[in-house]
Amino acid sequence: MSFLPATSFDTHPPQHQHFDTREAAQNVEASGPHSKWEQLPRAFRNLISSWNCRDFRYIASATTLALNDRKTRFHMTIANSQKITAWEDITSAVGNFRLAALLGWQDVAQRYRRSSVGAFWLTINMGVLIAALGLVFGTIFRSPMSEFLPFICVGLIMWGYYSQLINEGCVSFISNSDTMLQLPLPFFTYILRTWWRNSIILFHNIIILPVILLIFGKFFGWEALLVIPGFALVSINLLWMMVILSIVCTRYRDLTQIIQNIMQVGMYVTPIMWQPHQLPADKSLLILDFNPFYHLISVIREPLLGSTGSALNWGVVSAMAVIGWAVAMLFLNRFRSRVTYWL
């Protein structure tokens, strides 16, 4: 089921046209109080007035579906929540992924607007953190820097990605409550928006690893190709976690703080700043094998460092994806109609 009828807009806007959103906003606002612009929610008008991208027509036409129905925003949102299943919600959001991608990109662009370095400030901060912690813990554990620095580099980058996605996933619906209550967009679009925003930051940070490898005269091997299926499995797992947490944390707001504390503690019980072989043999089963984040990090870190990862790592991550999405679909299908009440 599609949320956006094909007749409402062109999904492939012409690339040669330039559209000044600020000028357009002023023109439609001056057209009178009964224009369609005035019928849009105030929060949404303020948002699109600040945009300045070629794809404005795509986003605006998708969201102005609210004007086709003169019902109140409450009845409109509740009606859509009740008649849309979890499968229809997810497939519609994935089919219109460009909308989520544009919103996520705009989040990053607005955050670093007028900055000469832009999002690479995050890369600089991460590089300084990796150098400081790598030197300190490498010296404490007496590990060769040529092995420990690449190890902690991938660990810190991926853990920052995981923890940020989970923490922001808890409030994905809450932070977009104004839009959710006024526009009939798929709920999974807001999850994809959060995932894409943090994935852009990940791609900025991961360039630190090749620099460190070049410093020590190392290069990627063929095993690095396993990062592609590894990242796909990791993303699938993180998305179902975000779906469940966004629903539960919308209902129980205090749970967000609990999740953040769990992620802080999880960093120290996961091999991020220490290596797995440093654990006693009798402790590795509990701390490593039963730690899902260890497996999620291993399917990314091991290929980048010249290994394929164990069969246990790949098996656990694959099983988590199947079981997790089955639970997430049940959650979304069962509680989707209640999310707007909880907001």
Domain boundaries, the chain: 1-68, 109-342
Task: Check whether 60 has a pLDDT greater than 70.
Answer: no
- Asked if the model's pLDDT at residue 185 lies above 70, the reply is yes
Q: Are 173 and 343 in contact (CB under 8 A)?
A: yes
pTM for this model (two decimals): 0.75
**Per-residue pLDDT at 23:** 54
- Residue 334, both tokens: 């069962």
Quick one: pLDDT at residue 309? Answer: 87
CB 237 within 8 A of CB 160: no
What does the pLDDT read at residue 122?
A: 85
Nearest Cα to Cα of residue 237 among 280, 199, 278, 292: 292
| Per-residue pLDDT reduced to its tens digit, 327-337 | 999 999 999 98
Angle in degrees, CA 111, 301, 157, rounded to 5: 20
User: What per-residue confidence (pLDDT) applies to 69?
Assistant: 38
49 has a pLDDT exceeding 70: no
Residue (of 277, 316, 319) closest to 297 by Cα position: 316
Q: Say how far apart CA 29 and CA 14 lie, in whole Å.
A: 25
User: Where do we find the tokens 């069962």?
Assistant: 334
**pLDDT tier at 192 (50, 70, 90 boundaries)?**
very high
| 289 pLDDT tier (thresholds 50, 70, 90) | confident
The answer on pLDDT for 26 being more than 80 is no
Block residue for tokens 């396993």 = 226
Query: pLDDT tens digit string along 109-165?
Result: 888 887 777 778 888 999 999 999 999 998 998 889 999 999 999 999 999 999 999
Over the stretch 84-108, which tens digit does the pLDDT of each residue have? Answer: 888 999 999 999 999 999 999 999 8
Q: What is the pLDDT of residue 64?
A: 47
Q: Are 309 and 337 in contact (CB under 8 A)?
A: no
Mean pLDDT calculated for residue range 224-228: 94
Alpha-carbon distance of 208 to 120, in angstroms, equals 11
Which burial class, exposed, middle or buried, applies to 148 when counting CB atoms under 10 A from its CB (0-12, 13-18, 19+)?
Answer: buried
Q: Greatest CA separation found in the chain?
A: 74
pLDDT confidence band for 279 (50 / 70 / 90): confident
Average pLDDT over the chain reads 81
pLDDT at 15: 46
Q: Is the pLDDT of residue 286 over 90?
A: no
